[in-house]
Amino acid sequence: MRLLLVEDDAAIQSFLKRTLSEAGYQVDTAGDAKTGELRALEGVHDAFIIDLGLPDMDGLNLIARCRAQGSSTPVLILSARRSVDERVRGLEQGGDDYLTKPFALAELLARLRNLLRRASPAHSDPIRLETADLQLDLVRREARRGEHLLPLTAQEFSLLEYLCRNAGRVVTRTMILDHVWRTRIDPATNVVDVHIYRLRNKVDPHGSAPLIHTIRGVGYVLKHA
Amino acid sequence: MRKILPTTASWRISIWTTLAFALGTGLAFGIVYLLVAHTIRDRSDAWLSGEAEVLAEVSAHTPKDHLYNRIVREVAELATRELPDERNSRGQKLNSVFFLEEDDGNESPLWIGPGSESPFLTAIQGARLTQAPQSISVEGWPTSFRVVARQVAGPGKTVYLGLSNRGDRHVLHRLTDRFLLVWGGTVILGFLIAYTSARRTLLRVEHITETVARIGSEDLSERLPASVRRDEIARLANTFNLMLDRIQFSVNQLRAVTDAVAHDLKSPVTSIRGTLESALCTEPNENWRDSVGEAIEGLDRLLDLLNTTLDLAEAQAGALRLDRTAVDLSSLTQQLIGLYQPVMCERGHDMKAELEAHVFVNGDSALLNRVVSNLLENEMIHLPHGCRINVQLRSQEELAELVVEDNGPGFPPEIGAHAVERFVKGKSSPGHGFGLAFVDAVVKAHGGSVKISDRPTGGAVITLSLPLRVLQPA
């Protein structure tokens, strides 16, 4: 997978390039919209990551210019503005996505994966998910640990399903709120942690190998040891 | 120190006023002058025409014998004396009237008048005189003469009667002299009055300017003195005072915000710094990860504080952009109660909800999510362990009413009705005082209201009212 990163802040550009490379992507970079446009039109990238505050042009204009020249590559927008511009909302409906700075790297990677998956047509929804001895039946909405049926509430099942879909990858509290509760709020209290705590009590009973792990300062990951 | 410079407004105002005044009166005088001159001329002309008629008559009917000249001369002299003598200051007779009778024959003309007849004769022959009076100038005479000619019935004789314009000119000169004297006086007086009153008025403006300049550079709490007068300048001073009130309020508000934010920022920054520093000083081990995680959590809290401050500032400045859609407040509240229920349990609170189904409002879903979650967070932060919380949603007439009540200690008395103001919080409250202020600002932007009270049986009640979504007839 080859990405184009258009970001003028050298520090952000360098750490994003490092992170994305470590995650297995090939990354090209551009420091301004003009270079970005030239590279984008080469047509070799699977996704663009574009910062809105570029020195020579608004990032949205850059996207508009690329679209006008026939590029349909999905775009992940990075924005320092807190209140999301209506134009960005419009783009979101068009299949692109945005992230406001500062963001957790886990979230950046998750959104990028989403974007790439949406762009590739050969994608089917699974009806079963498995991690180690944890099995989720998405049709009957039942979860089993080994042979044991887990007594989960609907909410807890949704939460576990989200963790399973992202098994092996870190998800942040914001991502959990966004996907499980469909709300973009920043709670000052440990609302999500209590849900995870309760879920963990059911999924990882005493004596079994724990599957749900806390990554301090970032979020949670479901993985086998 | 008064500066009387042509650049001051009072100077300019008085100059222009005086100019306008002078021009106006000058114009009025001009009209009067013309009228007077015209009237005087008409009167002289009427006299000339009448007398010339009489003289021509006399000349025609007097037999042409040796007495003819004497008779005509007598009559002419009598006629010239009809005019009142006008004399100048040196006693010279001013009116000069002449009579001339000209014959086509070679007979020398009959002449009654000042000096010799020859220059008059030349002037008359030079001008083509008619029945109507006409002005001609005569050589050797400084002023012109008004002359009328009459044909005498009979053999080719013409009589001329002339009257010097000197008298008329004298009257008009005197008129002009007096006018100029009075006009000059009034213009100067007018200028002085205009200047003094403009100066006095503008001195008050000057005073306001000086005071405002001083307030701007020194003490914002100073105010312009209130004036007993109710005129424009008093209103100007009033407006300035009102503006200063607002500025001072904003500055105080800003100071409070800055102080509070600085205070709230310092503690997380201190703890993050400390955590990272102690992590650096220890050998890398598993605790290292914890320290970094703790630092990131601290940064997230810091960010949260910044975002909330900015959101609130934006909401209170009326800069919120609402992305309105039909929002099912019932399911939104249900969802969030589901989210918060476990953490409430954890803290020993008993949360119950009575939600009317399908209560729709026309609003911004993301903001309303934050409003309801803020209300629930507010309960969680402020209630002591083990309280009852009751959330009710109902539609009443045209309003959706969301009521959150608890049996906790209620609002601290020092807060009272100010709970929704920014940074107002109880002394012992752990929050930073944004929550309800944000709720209030967002609800107001949606055209609703927030009511805050204590229950008579103890505990707090927060009531949100939002306009219900009006269903469009299909």
Domains in chain B: boundaries: 9-83+93-172, 232-316, 324-467
Q: Is the pLDDT of residue A41 over 70?
A: yes
What digits encode the pLDDT tens for the residues B122-174? Answer: 888 777 777 788 888 888 778 888 888 888 766 677 888 888 887 788 888 99
What digits encode the pLDDT tens for the residues B71-128? Answer: 877 877 777 776 655 554 455 555 577 888 777 655 677 787 777 777 887 888 777 7
Identify the helix (H) or strand (E) that includes residue A5: strand A2-6
Interchain proximity A181–B314, CB inside 8 Å = no
Residues of A in contact with B294 (CB under 8 A): 216-217
SS3 sequence of A6-43: ECCCHHHHHHHHHHHHHCCCEEEEECCHHHHHHHHCCC
Q: Phi and psi dihedrals of B231, rounded to 5?
A: -90, -170
Q: Specify whether the backbone of B95 is left (phi greater than 0), alpha (psi in -120 to 50) or beta.
A: beta
Distance from CA of B293 to the nearest CA of A (A): 4
Residues of B in contact with A177 (CB under 8 A): 339
| Nearest residue, CB atoms, A187 vs list B289, B296, B373 | B373
Residue B223 is predicted with a pLDDT of: 85
Q: Contact, B145 vs B164, CB < 8 A? A: yes
What is the pLDDT confidence band of residue B192, given thresholds at 50, 70 and 90?
very high
Distance from CA of A156 to the nearest CA of B (A): 10
Q: Contact, A48 vs A73, CB < 8 A? A: yes
Q: Where is pLDDT greater, at A83 or B148? A: B148
Residue A198, chain B, CB below 8 Å: the answer is yes
| Nearest residue, CB atoms, A216 vs list B290, B339, B340 | B290
Q: Give the rounded percent of residues in chain A with a pLDDT score beyond 90.
A: 38
Find, among B100, B9, B91, the residue nearest to B52 by Cα: B100
What is the pLDDT confidence band of residue B1, given thresholds at 50, 70 and 90?
very low
Q: Is the pLDDT of residue B245 over 70?
A: yes
Burial class (CB in 10 A: 0-12, 13-18, 19+), A213: middle
Q: Is the pLDDT of residue B408 over 90?
A: no
State the pTM of this model. 0.60
Residue A177, chain B, CB below 8 Å: the answer is yes
Distance from CA of A186 to the nearest CA of B (A): 7
Name the β-bridge partners of A99: A78
What digits encode the pLDDT tens for the residues A119-159? Answer: 776 656 788 888 888 999 998 999 999 888 999 999 999 99
Provide the ipTM. 0.78
Q: Is the pLDDT of residue B302 over 80?
A: yes
Residues of A in contact with B311 (CB under 8 A): 82
Name the β-bridge partners of B324: B364
DSSP type of residue B321: -
Going from the C-alpha of B267 to that of each of A3, B180, B298, the distances in angstroms are 40, 86, 10
Residue B426 is predicted with a pLDDT of: 47
Residue A190, chain B, CB below 8 Å: the answer is yes
Listed ranges A30-44, A92-106, B402-416; the one with the highest mean pLDDT: A30-44
Interchain proximity B370–A185, CB inside 8 Å = yes
Residue B321, chain A, CB below 8 Å: the answer is yes
| Nearest residue, CB atoms, A217 vs list B294, B343, B369 | B294
Domains along chain A?
A: 2-119 (3.40.50.2300), 128-222 (1.10.10.10)
Residue B318, chain A, CB below 8 Å: the answer is no
Name the β-bridge partners of A167: none
Quote the tokens at residue A6. Answer: 């258009």
Residue B427 is predicted with a pLDDT of: 47
Find, among A78, A88, A63, A86, the residue nearest to A108 by Cα: A78
First to last CA, chain A: 29
**Can you tell me the distance from the alpha carbon of B6 to that of A115, in angstroms, rounded to the nearest whole number?**
74
Residues of A in contact with B336 (CB under 8 A): 181, 183
Distance from CA of A82 to the nearest CA of B (A): 8
First to last CA, chain B: 78
> In a 3-state reduction of DSSP, which class is residue A142?
strand
The mean pLDDT value of chain B amounts to 82
Residues 15-74 of A with CB under 8 A from B: none
**Can you tell me the distance from the alpha carbon of A199 to that of A181, in angstroms, rounded to the nearest whole number?**
15
**Residues B285, B286, B287, B290, CA torsion sign:** positive
What digits encode the pLDDT tens for the residues B382-400? Answer: 888 889 999 999 998 889 9
CATH for B9-83+93-172? 3.30.450
Q: Contact, A1 vs A24, CB < 8 A? A: yes
Q: Is the pLDDT of residue B5 over 60?
A: no
Q: Contact, A219 vs A166, CB < 8 A? A: no
| Nearest residue, CB atoms, B314 vs list A83, A181, A184 | A83
Quote the tokens at residue B13. Answer: 């105002």
Radius of gyration of chain A (CA): 19
| Window from B53-57, B328-332, B403-407 with minimum mean pLDDT | B53-57
What is the pLDDT confidence band of residue B19, given thresholds at 50, 70 and 90?
very high
Interchain proximity B346–A194, CB inside 8 Å = yes
The residue type at A14: S
**Residue B306 CB contacts under 8 Å (≥ 6 apart), including other chains:** none
Question: Region A93-97: what's the mean pLDDT?
Answer: 71
Q: Is the pLDDT of residue B3 over 60?
A: no
Distance from CA of B228 to the nearest CA of A (A): 50
Residue B217 is predicted with a pLDDT of: 84
Quote the tokens at residue B1. Answer: 């120190």
| Nearest residue, CB atoms, B310 vs list A82, A155, A184 | A82
Q: Contact, B389 vs B383, CB < 8 A? A: yes
Residue positions counted in chain A: 225
Q: Is the pLDDT of residue B36 over 70?
A: yes
> In a 3-state reduction of DSSP, which class is residue B380?
helix
Find, among B346, B320, B354, the residue nearest to B447 by Cα: B320
Residues of B in contact with A185 (CB under 8 A): 369-370, 373
**Can you tell me the distance from the alpha carbon of B144 to that of B134, in angstroms, rounded to the nearest whole number?**
10
Going from the C-alpha of B110 to that of each of A109, A110, B64, B121, the distances in angstroms are 133, 133, 13, 11
What is the pLDDT confidence band of residue A89, given thresholds at 50, 70 and 90?
low
Identify the helix (H) or strand (E) that includes residue A221: strand A219-222
| Interchain CB contacts (distance < 8 Å): A and B | 70
Core vs surface per residue A84-116: b (16+ CB within 10 A) or e: bbeebeebeeeebbbbbeeebbbbbbbbbeebb
Q: Contact, A122 vs A131, CB < 8 A? A: no
Residue A80, chain B, CB below 8 Å: the answer is no
Residue B300 is predicted with a pLDDT of: 84
| Nearest residue, CB atoms, A186 vs list B307, B346, B381 | B307
Q: For residue A118, how many other CB atoms are within 10 A of its CB?
A: 13
Kindly report the CA angle at B179 between B174 and B182, in degrees rounded to 5?
Answer: 130
Name the β-bridge partners of B326: B362
**Residue B314 CB contacts under 8 Å (≥ 6 apart), including other chains:** A83, B320
**Can you tell me the distance from the alpha carbon of B160 to that of A187, in angstroms, rounded to the nearest whole number?**
120
Residue B306, chain A, CB below 8 Å: the answer is no
The residue type at B310: L
Residue A191, chain B, CB below 8 Å: the answer is yes
Quote the tokens at residue A38. Answer: 């030239």
Residue A79 is predicted with a pLDDT of: 84
Residues 337-356 of B with CB under 8 A from A: 338-340, 342-343, 345-346
The mean pLDDT value of chain A amounts to 87
Peptide linkage before B114 cis (omega within 30 of 0): no
What is the pLDDT confidence band of residue B180, given thresholds at 50, 70 and 90?
very high
**Quick one: chain A helix, strand, coil %, rounded to 5?**
40, 20, 40
**Can you tell me the distance from the alpha carbon of B300 to that of B292, in angstroms, rounded to the nearest whole number?**
12
**Can you tell me the distance from the alpha carbon of A75 to that of A59, in angstroms, rounded to the nearest whole number?**
11
> In a 3-state reduction of DSSP, which class is residue A104?
coil
CATH for B232-316? 1.10.287
The residue among B339, B340, B429 with the most chain A CBs within 10 A of its CB, best to mutate, is: B339
**Residue B427 CB contacts under 8 Å (≥ 6 apart), including other chains:** B412, B414
Residue B323, chain A, CB below 8 Å: the answer is yes
**Can you tell me the distance from the alpha carbon of B450 to that of B435, in angstroms, rounded to the nearest whole number?**
13
Q: Contact, A138 vs A126, CB < 8 A? A: yes
Find, among B322, B435, B288, B427, the residue nearest to B374 by Cα: B435
Q: Is the pLDDT of residue A94 over 80?
A: no
**Quick one: chain B helix, strand, coil %, rounded to 5?**
55, 15, 30
**Can you tell me the distance from the alpha carbon of A51 to that of B315, in angstroms, rounded to the nearest whole number?**
26
> In a 3-state reduction of DSSP, which class is residue A223?
coil
- Homologous superfamily of B324-467: Histidine kinase-like ATPase, C-terminal domain (3.30.565.10)
Q: Specify whether the backbone of B156 is left (phi greater than 0), alpha (psi in -120 to 50) or beta.
A: left
